[in-house]
Structure 1
Amino acid sequence: MSLRRRLATVVAGVAALAVALSGCLYAQIPPVPPTDGASLAPQTDGVPAELLPYYGQTLDWQPCGTGLDCTTVTVPRDYADPSVGDLDLAVVRHRATSGKPIGSLLTNPGGPGAAGVSLMKQALSILVDDKLTQDYDVIGFDPRGVGESTAVTCYEPAQLDAFLYDIPPGARGSDERKAALDQRAADFANACQDHSDGILPYITTENSARDMDVLRAVLGDAKLNYLGFSYGTFLGATYAGLFPERVDRMVLDGGIDPSVSGSDTSLQQAVGFEQSLRSFMADCLKTKDCPFAGTVDDAMADVASLLARVDARPITAADGRRLGGDTLMTAITAALYSEESWPYLRSALTDVSNGRADVAFQLADFYNGRVGDHYDGNTMEAFIAYNCMDYPDQGTDAAVAELQQKLDAAAPVIAPYWSGSGGDPCKTWPAPPTGKREQITAPGSPPILVVGTTGDPATPYEGAQSLASQLSQGVLITNVGEGHLGYNKGNACVTDAVDAYLIDGTVPDDGHRCG
């Protein structure tokens, strides 16, 4: 596992898990006749002449589900040189049920690599509540490189299975395993280059943020209203940094600190998941079906032993796949996103303790977007593509060794399966990273709400604190609780504050605490 492999962890897996395990679908409403994206002159002030054709597109909305319209928006591959060529963005709209929308509310569910179009089609209620669907035209889109947009393409399903699940030869940490992982990573990077039609150098968060400004304009909005989750907070903050004067109401839930290095982000996430695993264990030990006993420390030691045992003697699932330590850790990680998934983690760990791997693979598959024998979109491929371009390379042997020492001390159960030598596709990525890790202040923007959850493992609370403090108009909402994200997750204090801001413009006090 490399310094960049587990960065900005994927919220798309959580959305898929919630849909699959709860069967939650959005309430259907009658379709509303679409409009045609009319005069956009007020929204193109300050746009370079060579970009005006993109900002002046007329959208062709077509029904694509009950209450939904879909369209395609064209954007340049390279904003600095539009002559390089174009990309297509898939966009979906749920019209305001009131018939009198405040405007458009652009959303991003996270990732990088989460597909906003399919998520809105499957479960709009995961993104927004009824108050927002009443007053806004809610907009989902697949960012460049993702899903139904011009997409990063690397592997067929069987090849992606091998990349994500196969157990490499040799003992963990051995030269044999490192060589095998390095070769696997290089093969993946080469496949992405071969099958992605030259788009990889342009799959960056900055370009995606610029795409959002095109979307703002072609939707007919003078300023951007935005609700972003997890990685979507980095995307939203990047937009605010580029276009602070074009921000209207912006909420960033699960804030990511844009100034933190890749290695420090990896360390913070590992510590977050270690702490969440301890919280799970404290709860598990109170139940009758917990496979562990004793204290939380005893249970953590037992999980570490279970991971090591599976690593040494993989378990074969009903479909023939072999469960090793890395895939079991992916399963654990997937379930720690939400307390609602803890019963599935108890079941998975009980089964693995008894030599069965099927529930663990179910959790890992949800995390990786695997459905049956195929993948629902290209989440993992796009995830790697964005991280390779967004994060400056820190993958020297010395940096890896230093990170591993810190991980071993701060997250001893998670550490052996979180980061290590070998297996970084970014080392042979066909384009060098262009992203920078630096503070975003967005001077001149209106208030920007940042939501942080104290027990969030994927986007630890300190990231939200830091992001809110560095934004010139950042306002922090603290959600006291476990799991990833805060809005629309059952805490009425958080949800009501966000709704009041997005609908009425009511700004809560900085430091507003819910719990």
Structure 2
Amino acid sequence: MVRLLSVLLVIPLLASCTSIVEGGARPGVSLEKAGPAGTVPAGLEEFYGQQLAWQDCAPFATTGSSRQAYGSKRDVECARAEVPLDYSKPDGDTITIGVLRYKATGDKIGSLLINPGGPGASGMAAAAGMLNDYRKTELAKRFDLIGFDPRGIGASEPAVRCLTGPERDEERLDLDLDTSPAGIAQTEQENKAYAEKCAAGTKFGEAMLANLGTRDVVKDMDVLRSALGDAKLSYVGYSYGTRIGTEYAETFPQNVRALVLDGAVDPAQDPLASLVAQAAGFQQAFDEFVKWCREKGDCPLTGDDASTSFRQLTTPLIQAPVAVGDRKLSYNDAITATIQALYSEQLWPVLLNGLTELRNGKGRVLLALADAYYDRDEQGQYSTITDAFNAVHCVDDQRLTDKDKLLETARAYKAAAPFLDDGNPPGAALDSCAFWPVPVTADTAPPKAEGIPPLLVISTTGDPATPYEAGVNLAKALNSRLLTFEGVQHTVFLQGEKCVDDAGVKYLIDQTLPADGTRCA
């Protein structure tokens, strides 16, 4: 993981106060200066003490889903924070980070930053979407809830853009299942072209792509911490957001107050092993879905082997996608829709409806699930989530160029998740990261707990995307407390599970960790 150089000077600031700046603001805009607070790296004083202009969130919406999220919430406000494009050149180009705030209603402790994962998901939209559950907890009285869009994502400017909406629609219909030498070569050429489009379609080009990773996001978070007036950070990170939280703690251990890390990314697992572990997790979730489906009656997955039944239902789409209005449901979209629904038991009824439709030659529900995964609205506009996901991984993870290992992983993946076997021989095409125009920026060494106070790690026994053992490993690596939730879903905190929520809320408010070995069901 990345650490600040030991020679970096910091200026200690013992306290901060919030001031509302009179005059100079546009109508409907409230200028607020709450920082600087805590420690400030030398040369970054202007960013750490910047004034934020809070206003209505409607102009920050970039897609139909975010317009809906912000439009229905009249008690939130938004702003943009300015940060360096390249922290090694603080006097150079700058970019902005979109921020959404729901203000504390009682005796305020500080701000609570959240990240919903991805990478590529909008923290602003996530914060707006979780408000109903958030207001039911004591956190709403004690913390300003802060959702932020990491650099290059959502309302943050500039956004990473690789494909247009029509290009993304076309790409979803291009299956890339041919594992013959010619098919592999074609896929690799498409992946190379995609990498080139990302550099060409994003403002600042390669400079933006080179400074997009977790290394830079945690520095932006520290700027936000100070600009919001907090000497230390309180944070909730889900899924990939646990990687952000871990790296923040390593980079700024002196600035950590309380971090909740839910749905952990395994800190020591290489990307290929992680991919196979995730495949096994989704197979486990699929098997649980099948049990539920058959108990409901008239389940379209029949026979002794549900994985075989699922393949018989979906693989015909390879040759004959199903028309849905003026669009088509492809095989890849059917798989994406299934994966989307396996993230949470709440989506199982929707998946059941979609598979039943597919049995009857229709694809409306499954296409809608796939659209939700890609964050595509009814007008055909996509959020930045897919392009940002790829761009962040390409600078965060080691490049996968050993074709023997790729082929071995492809075989292991099919074995771990037989319901996802498309029937073609395993292949070993290089992905877009192999052609990425900038180097990896992350330090992939396992995290070290030195100087970091004990944190709260939450892991779910049946989590399909971030398997339970990843949370066990992260808690051990950080010398932190593990809270186990027994369930089948991806992440759980602040989603209505009282046992988990009570433990997490207590820790965030008074920094008291749950007892060692605590389990919630």
Confirm whether residue 435 of structure 1 aligns to residue 442 of structure 2.
yes
Aligned to 2:93: 85
Aligned to 1:55: 48
Q: Is the contact made by 2:35 and 2:48 (CA closer than 8 Å) also made in structure 1? A: no
Q: Is the contact made by 1:183 and 1:423 (CA closer than 8 Å) also made in structure 2? A: no
CA RMSD of superposed structures (Å):
2.2
Q: Is the contact made by 1:44 and 1:55 (CA closer than 8 Å) also made in structure 2? A: no
The aligned amino acid for 2:232 is K
- 1:312 Cα deviation after fit: 3.5
Aligned to 2:371: 365
- 1:64-143 aligned at under 5 Å gives the runs 64=57, 66-98=74-106, 100-125=107-132, 129-143=136-150
Aligned to 2:24: none
SS at match of 1:36: strand
Q: Which has the higher mean CA deviation after the structures are superposed, 477-486 or 121-130?
A: 121-130
Q: Is the contact made by 1:68 and 1:94 (CA closer than 8 Å) also made in structure 2? A: yes
- 1:9-48 aligned at under 5 Å gives the runs 36-40=32-36, 42-45=37-40, 47-48=41-42
Aligned to 2:454: 447
Confirm whether residue 237 of structure 1 aligns to residue 268 of structure 2.
no
Correspondent of 1:270 among 266, 279, 297 = 279
Q: Is the contact made by 2:114 and 2:127 (CA closer than 8 Å) also made in structure 1? A: no
The aligned amino acid for 1:43 is G
Alpha-carbon distance in 2 for matches of 1:514, 1:350: 34
Alpha-carbon distance in 2 for matches of 1:39, 1:483: 39
- 1:218 Cα deviation after fit: 0.6
Instruction: Return closer, same or farther for 1:416/1:336 CA change in 2, 3 Å cut-off.
Output: same
- 1:114 Cα deviation after fit: 0.6
Q: Is the contact made by 1:89 and 1:144 (CA closer than 8 Å) also made in structure 2? A: yes
**Post-superposition CA distance 1:252-311 (Å, at most 9, x none):** 11111122111111111111001100110111111123112344xx22221122233222
Aligned to 1:321: 328
Alpha-carbon distance in 2 for matches of 1:488, 1:39: 29
Confirm whether residue 405 of structure 1 aligns to residue 398 of structure 2.
no
Confirm whether residue 191 of structure 1 aligns to residue 197 of structure 2.
yes
Q: Tell me which stretches of 4 or more aligned residues in structure 1 moved more than 4 Å.
A: 32-35, 126-129, 415-420
Q: Is the contact made by 1:153 and 1:381 (CA closer than 8 Å) also made in structure 2? A: yes
For normalisation by structure 2, the TM-score amounts to 0.86
**Post-superposition CA distance 1:469-511 (Å, at most 9, x none):** 0003x11000001111121233211111001111222211232
Instruction: Return closer, same or farther for 1:417/1:513 CA change in 2, 3 Å cut-off.
Output: farther
**Post-superposition CA distance 1:355-395 (Å, at most 9, x none):** 21211111111011111132352111101100011001123
Q: Which has the higher mean CA deviation after the structures are superposed, 460-469 or 354-363?
A: 354-363
Correspondent of 2:290 among 281, 294, 301 = 281
Q: Which has the higher mean CA deviation after the structures are superposed, 373-382 or 453-462?
A: 373-382
The aligned amino acid for 1:97 is T
**Post-superposition CA distance 1:305-329 (Å, at most 9, x none):** 22332223332222332422x2211
Correspondent of 2:186 among 180, 183, 186 = 180
SS at match of 2:98: strand
Correspondent of 1:457 among 449, 459, 464 = 464
Instruction: Return closer, same or farther for 1:128/1:85 CA change in 2, 3 Å cut-off.
Output: farther
Alpha-carbon distance in 2 for matches of 1:35, 1:133: 23
- 1:127 Cα deviation after fit: 6.5
Alpha-carbon distance in 1 for matches of 2:88, 2:242: 24
Aligned to 1:12: none
Instruction: Return closer, same or farther for 1:289/1:35 CA change in 2, 3 Å cut-off.
Output: farther
Q: Which runs of 5+ in 1 are unaligned?
A: 1-31
Correspondent of 1:495 among 501, 504, 517 = 501
- 1:58 Cα deviation after fit: 1.7
Instruction: Return closer, same or farther for 1:420/1:238 CA change in 2, 3 Å cut-off.
Output: farther
Alpha-carbon distance in 2 for matches of 1:278, 1:206: 37
Q: Is the contact made by 1:404 and 1:415 (CA closer than 8 Å) also made in structure 2? A: no
Correspondent of 1:154 among 162, 183, 188 = 162
Alpha-carbon distance in 1 for matches of 2:116, 2:428: 31
- 1:164-313 aligned at under 5 Å gives the runs 164-168=172-176, 172-197=178-203, 198=205, 199-295=208-304, 298-313=305-320
Alpha-carbon distance in 2 for matches of 1:277, 1:177: 30
The number of residues matched between the two structures is 474
Q: Is the contact made by 1:184 and 1:423 (CA closer than 8 Å) also made in structure 2? A: no
Alpha-carbon distance in 2 for matches of 1:432, 1:127: 39
Instruction: Return closer, same or farther for 1:417/1:444 CA change in 2, 3 Å cut-off.
Output: farther
Instruction: Return closer, same or farther for 1:232/1:129 CA change in 2, 3 Å cut-off.
Output: farther
Q: Which runs of 5+ in 2 are unaligned?
A: 1-27, 58-72
Identical-pair percentage: 38
The aligned amino acid for 2:155 is E
Alpha-carbon distance in 2 for matches of 1:160, 1:263: 26
Alpha-carbon distance in 1 for matches of 2:293, 2:354: 12
Instruction: Return closer, same or farther for 1:397/1:233 CA change in 2, 3 Å cut-off.
Output: same
Q: Is the contact made by 2:315 and 2:422 (CA closer than 8 Å) also made in structure 1? A: no
- 1:128 Cα deviation after fit: 7.0
**Bigger RCO (CA 8 Å, 6+ sep):** 1
Confirm whether residue 354 of structure 1 aligns to residue 347 of structure 2.
no
SS at match of 1:252: strand
The aligned amino acid for 1:303 is F
**Post-superposition CA distance 1:324-365 (Å, at most 9, x none):** 2x2211011000011010011111111222221211111111
Instruction: Return closer, same or farther for 1:127/1:361 CA change in 2, 3 Å cut-off.
Output: farther
Alpha-carbon distance in 1 for matches of 2:520, 2:327: 46
Q: Which has the higher mean CA deviation after the structures are superposed, 376-385 or 205-214?
A: 376-385
Q: Is the contact made by 1:330 and 1:367 (CA closer than 8 Å) also made in structure 2? A: yes
The aligned amino acid for 2:169 is D
Instruction: Return closer, same or farther for 1:62/1:490 CA change in 2, 3 Å cut-off.
Output: closer
Q: Which has the higher mean CA deviation after the structures are superposed, 442-451 or 261-270?
A: 442-451
- 1:123 Cα deviation after fit: 4.5
